[in-house]
Amino acid sequence: MIDGKNILLGVTGGIASYKVVDLCSRLVKEGANLKIIMTKAATKFVSPLTFETMGRCKVYTDIFEGHHDHVYHVDLAKWADLFLIAPLSANTLAKITYGIADNFLTACLLAYDKDLIVAPAMNSNMYTNVATQKNLLTLVNRGVKIIEPSEGLLACNVIGPGRMEEPENIVKYIEDYFTEKDLLNKKVIVTAGPTIEPIDYVRYITNHSSGKMGYHIANEAKKRGAEVILISGPVEPFKISGIKKVDIKTNLDLQKEIDKEFTDSDALIMAAAPTDYKVKDVADKKIKKSGQNLSLDLIENIDILKYISSKKDKQIVIGFAAETENLIKNAQKKLNEKKVDYIIANNLKMEGAGFNVDTNIASLVSKDGVEHLEKMTKKELANKILDLIK
């Protein structure tokens, strides 16, 4: 994770440097220790004071400044866990390719011997120019990680490739870089969101699950190197990448999709909230108002977890318990009846827990006992749950 990591941020001359102010702020929020080097050209676009304020750190611009007690470009190279250059201009790219060390940033880079990540940004013609492409290829061959620029309307009023990746995605890239790949070669099925069961042609039964818990588990598992299959009920869209996602509606859909993936999987994490009841006879047209009360005949729905656990072989199966009372007692009952390895128990009535919030308060229940966890973000809880299958 980014928290506590020493990140040396190099900023070169380009209009995209204004976006790097936001990047700085995001990295600081994630807990990074920043130090920043700006080229002279970069200081023409954004003042060092802005970066000093947002990065809460010193900004270095002049290689000849204050060398009586430190050789700063060498010290910084040693200090950094990661060197990130954003935006990377065509000019600095060319200098890096040839090992030129004519300013603080390029000199520091020559003294630096760990991983380098760069986010190029420039005019489309400059980007596609054979010289730039050749330079980028040289960097790739040296093991430099390149965050490719996207296409769009550039500051020079041209539409094409060359726009620096958005700060939010650069942070995700760095987070991914620092995450230990301890779930490599593991296939993890994650379910998220509610299921819906039809009443008639226009109406259905469902619940308040937003999918946040399940999507965080899927995203964190992906970051940790797992092959992730996310089976999701209808929820607001979330950003995911590199994850196979299957959309479902009913319990039967969910069961069928899990069945397809379960045999060769290593773990199933059921964060979804399937509906426990469904209508016995679903009308294939809209039920009209009749001026009378209407009763629906509800029958118990398939218990997917119970069904799938009966097929369990090497897989670790983790269920949740969403309760409003007797949390641990009910969770232990579910652990035994559904024959799962762990139950993540959450009380829906507690503030900051359960449906549609960004935090959760959970207890990990297994045959070995109960571990009560503090309130934490769903992302943090996702990692605690993934530690169980590690």
Residue 151 C-beta: closest distance to ligand PMT, Å: 34
Which residues have C-beta within 8 Å of that of residue 58, sequence separation ≥ 6?
35, 36, 52
Part of the chain binding ligand PMT (CB under 6 A), chosen from 17-25, 131-139, 299-307, 366-374? 299-307
Nearer to ligand PMT, 222 or 334 (CB): 334
Counting contacts by CB under 6 A, is residue 298 touching ligand PMT? no
Smaller CB distance to ligand PMT: residue 165 or 197? 197
Binding map of ligand PMT across residues 234-253, x = CB under 6 A, - = no contact: -----------------x--
Using the contact rule CB under 6 A, the part of the chain among 98-106, 124-132, 239-247, 313-321 near ligand PMT is 313-321
What are the phi and psi torsion angles at 148 (to 5°)? -60, 140
Compute the distance between CA of residue 27 and CA of residue 281 in angstroms, rounded to an integer.
Answer: 54
Whichever of 171 and 270 has its CB closer to ligand PMT, that residue is 270
The least distance separating ligand PMT from the CB of residue 354, rounded to whole angstroms, comes to 4
**DSSP code for 302:** P
Q: Does 139 help bind ligand PMT (rule: CB under 6 A)? A: no
Q: Which stretch binds ligand PMT (CB under 6 A): 101-109, 156-164, 242-250, 264-272?
A: 264-272
| Contact (CB, 8 A) for 35 and 9 | yes
Binding residues for ligand PMT restricted to 174-233, rule: CB under 6 A: 209-213
Respond yes or no: is residue 24 known to be catalytic: no
User: What kind and span of H or E run contains 378?
Assistant: helix 378-389
Size of the site for ligand PMT (CB under 6 A): 25
Site for ligand PMT contains 319 (CB under 6 A): yes
- In the three-class reduction of DSSP (H, G, I as helix; E, B as strand; rest coil), residue 286 is classed as coil
Query: Given the complex with ligand PMT, which of 54 and 268 has the nearer CB atom?
Result: 268
Spatial CA neighbour of 198 closest among 282, 302, 296, 255: 282
The whole-angstrom separation of Cα 332 and Cα 328 is 6
CA atoms of 138 and 161, how far apart (whole Å): 19
Q: Is 14 in the site for ligand PMT (CB under 6 A)?
A: no
Three-class DSSP category at 28: helix
Comparison of 127 and 320: residue with beta carbon closer to ligand PMT: 320
> In angstroms, rounded to a whole number, what is the distance separating the alpha carbons of residues 342 and 345?
9
Exposed/middle/buried for residue 328 (C-beta within 10 Å: 0-12, 13-18, 19+)? middle
CB 361 to ligand PMT: min, Å: 10
Cβ burial, residue 142 (10 Å; 0-12/13-18/19+): exposed
335, 366 contact by CB (below 8 A): yes
18 to 77, contacts with ligand PMT by CB under 6 A? none
Site string for ligand PMT, 333-362 (x = CB under 6 A): -x-----------x-------xxx------
> Which H or E element spans position 245?
strand 244-247
Q: Which lies closer to ligand PMT via its Cβ, residue 147 or residue 304? A: 304
* Token pair 């199933």 in the structure block, residue: 268
Which of 24, 57, 108, 156 is the catalytic position?
A: 156
The CA R_g of the chain, rounded to the nearest whole Å, is 26
CA nearest 90: which of 39, 133, 147?
A: 133
Judged by CB under 6 A, the residue of 268, 270, 327, 386 near ligand PMT is 270
Q: In the set 30, 276, 279, 373, which binds ligand PMT (CB under 6 A)? A: 276
Residue 305 makes contact with ligand PMT by CB under 6 A: yes
Judge whether 369 and 362 are in contact, CB under 8 Å. no
With respect to ligand PMT, which residue has the nearer C-beta, 68 or 367?
Answer: 367
Q: Which residues are known to be catalytic?
A: 156
Binding site for ligand PMT (CB under 6 A): 209-213, 251, 270-274, 276, 301, 303-305, 319-322, 334, 346, 354-356
